[in-house]
Chains A and B, each alone.
Chain A
Amino acid sequence: MSISNGQLAAIKVALFLLCLLPLAWLGWGAWQDALGPNPIETIQRDLGIWTLNLLVATLCVTPLRRMSGWAWLGRLRRMIGLFAFFYALLHFLGYVWLDQFFDWNAIAKDIFKRPFITVGFAAFVLLIPLAATSNRFAIKRLGGRRWQTLHRAVYPIAIFGVIHYWWLVKRDVATPALYALAVLFLLGLRALWREQERREQLAGKYAPQQPPRLRSRIIPIVSRRD
């Protein structure tokens, strides 16, 4: 299914508003004092969960595009990725401001001593260059291949994000396990496809028309007598 530019623009606007919904929900809840007895915990948990949701969503784009053949899906990924960064940034700011209230000493201790914070912070830091290069200019400047290599950092970022969640829960890891399964599945799918391509390549599917010329020197074993 291919779609017109107008349709794509409409989809983008809808997606943009959809991605803002969780934040609007939190904002409304804060305004109405409806975030429960521990609103800071609610805010931080929701921002974290939506960062993960959006990271998983970006990882879904390529498999969905491949399976459906809808190339335009790829053109939504930048927005989803930038929203993932946006929620990660809010999650980080929420930690610094609401949770720790700029207690830099405690924050530094947390980052270095608490593995779940270390790994969450690492995921956030890794997201920064990706967000910074999410534009046409950066792609041109870096070159497509290098840009793509850089943006594959989203794989470890997603893994770090899930570990961050897993390590912070007290006992019940059912929900983090669901995210782990989703990420493993989406990354596994890529590994599988890559392996298939490699095999097909070996089998000669992508082989060039002309076989490479063997240029070996023939070393005479027996000297010819004239």
Chain B
Amino acid sequence: MMHILPSEITPAQTYFDRRKFIGAAGALALSGLLPASAAAQSLIARKSPLSVLETPTPRDDIVNYGNFLEFASDKHGHVERSKLMAVRPWTVTVEGLVAKPRRFAIEDLLKLPLEERIYRHRCVEGWSMVVPWVGFPLSALLNQVEPLGNAKYVEFISHVDPAIMPNVRRQLLDWPYLEGLRMDEALHPLTLIAVGLYGEVLPKPNGAPLRLVVPWKYGYKSAKSIVSIRLVEHPPNTVWMKAVPDEYGFYANVNPGVDHPRWSQAKERRIGEFFKRTTLPFNGYADQVASLYAGMDLRKFF
């Protein structure tokens, strides 16, 4: 007869939880692998003629300075806290007034033809950067779902997780973060879905795994960590319009001639420079986008 020591008998609870244990072990192994591989994962992207010829801001500054309001109210608190955000698996639904609503896995989006686009980025607070994004035009995504004729606007909804986002728990804004574009703005060739930065997958502080980039608008329009894109008939009530309607409008086009109610927008501080620069209308993209707003009073539609 075999002798089995009591210490060798698996406790009943552990036995019953064995699947959980295996799952946890697997997740642990994956989590050990993924961030390392994700951090190093470089993207193949062709250079875009839509890039500006200015020197990109150093990667460290782009990653460590910015607003990710779900995580922090200052310019750097989000860097540590966003590390807790799981960006795999990740799916984005594209739905609403479309013929073929779809759910995309991030892996599929990374297989789309990617471009490197070096864009100016101007924050409504008065600072700016030059960012080498990697991504694809939003139109490439929207065309796959076949927008219907009555789709006039596109809204973007960001990931929300109170467990890891202190300002979501505090209800600093009416979460989730929701932004919107007019259909013609959304289909404009400059409007980008970014999945990368400096040739690698997008870092979490910058809105991993995918974000919107609309370079002629103030940064807050460019929603981060998007989980849902909806095509709708009426103008979306954006998160900032709900919070402070007299300060943050739907259009948010960069405009040195229309001040924020509390500060001037005439100049900006480019990160890394001492002297302020003059802010350009439409952030320097007027040639490409000013026609979208022909005949509109930009003071009224700020």
CB closest residue in chain B, given A116: B262
Determine if A36 and B73 form an interchain contact, defined as CB atoms under 8 angstroms apart.
no
Q: B272 at interface (Cβ–Cβ under 8 A)?
A: yes
| B interface footprint on A95-131 (CB within 8 Å = 1, 0 otherwise) | 0001011000010011000111000000000000000
Q: Are A36 and B64 in contact (CB under 8 A)?
A: yes
Taken together as a complex, chains A and B put the C-alpha atoms of A116 and B173 apart, in Å, by 23
User: How far is A72 from B127 in the complex, measured between Cα atoms in Å?
Assistant: 47
Give the interface residue-count category, chain A: 20 to 34
The reply to whether A115 and B73 contact each other, CB–CB distance below 8 Å, is no
Docked CA distance A116–B260 (Å): 13
Judge whether A71 is part of the interface by a CB distance below 8 angstroms.
no
B264, CB-defined interface residue at 8 Å: yes
Is the pair A36, B75 in contact by a Cβ cutoff of 8 Å? yes
Q: Is A167 an interface residue (CB 8 A)?
A: yes
**Chain B residues bordering chain A, tally (CB within 8 A):** 26
Kindly state the separation between the CA atoms of A185 and B71 in the bound complex, as whole angstroms: 31
Across-interface contacts of A116 in B (CB, < 8 A): 262-263
Tell me if A114 and B73 are in contact (CB < 8 A).
no
- With an 8 A cutoff between CB atoms, is A168 at the interface? yes
Tell me the nearest residue of chain A to B243, going by C-beta.
Answer: A171
Q: Which single residue of chain B is at the shortest CB-CB distance from A109?
A: B264
| Contact between chains at B275 and A171 (CB < 8 Å) | no
Give the distance in Å from the alpha carbon of A27 to the alpha carbon of B256 in the complex. Answer: 33
Q: Tell whether A30 is near chain B: CB-to-CB under 8 Å.
A: no
Given A171-B243, A171-B244, also A38-B264 (CB < 8 A): no
Chain A residues with Cβ below 8 Å from B127 are: 38, 41
Indicate if the CB atoms of A38 and B269 lie closer than 8 Å.
yes
Find the B residue at minimum CB distance from A174.
B73
B34 at the interface (CB under 8 A from A): no
* Closest residue on chain A to residue B266 by CB atoms: A106
A33 → chain B closest CB, angstroms: 11
Determine whether A226 belongs to the interface, using a CB cutoff of 8 Å to chain B: no
Interchain CA distance A38-B273 in the complex, whole Å: 9
Contacts of B76 in A (CB 8 A): 36
**Residues of the B chain whose Cβ atoms lie less than 8 Å from the Cβ of A38:** 65, 75, 127, 269, 271
How far is B269's CA from A135's CA once the two chains are assembled, in angstroms?
41
Check B75–A106 contact: CB distance below 8 A: no
Interface flag for B88 (CB, 8 Å)? no
- A40 contacts the other chain (Cβ, under 8 Å)? yes
In the bound assembly, the distance between CA atoms of A168 and B244 in angstroms comes to 14
Contact B269 A40 (CB under 8 A): yes
Give per-residue flags for A161-199: 1 if the beta carbon is below 8 A from chain B beta carbons, else 0: 000000111111010000000000000000000000000
**Would A37 and B61 count as touching, CB distance under 8 A?**
yes
Interface residues as binary, B264-302 with A (CB distance below 8 Å gives 1, 0 otherwise): 101101011011100000000000000000000000000
- B267's nearest neighbour on chain A, judged by CB, is A106
> Which residues of B, 60-118, contact A by the 8 Å Cβ criterion?
60-61, 64-65, 69, 73, 75-76
One of A40, A106, A171 near B173 (C-beta < 8 A): A171
A-B contact pairs, 7 of them (CB 8 A): A37-B64, A41-B127, A98-B274, A106-B266, A109-B264, A171-B173, A171-B243
| Given A41-B75, A109-B264, A171-B243, 6 other A-B residues pairs in contact with their CB atoms under 8 A | A36-B76, A37-B60, A38-B75, A106-B267, A171-B244, A172-B167
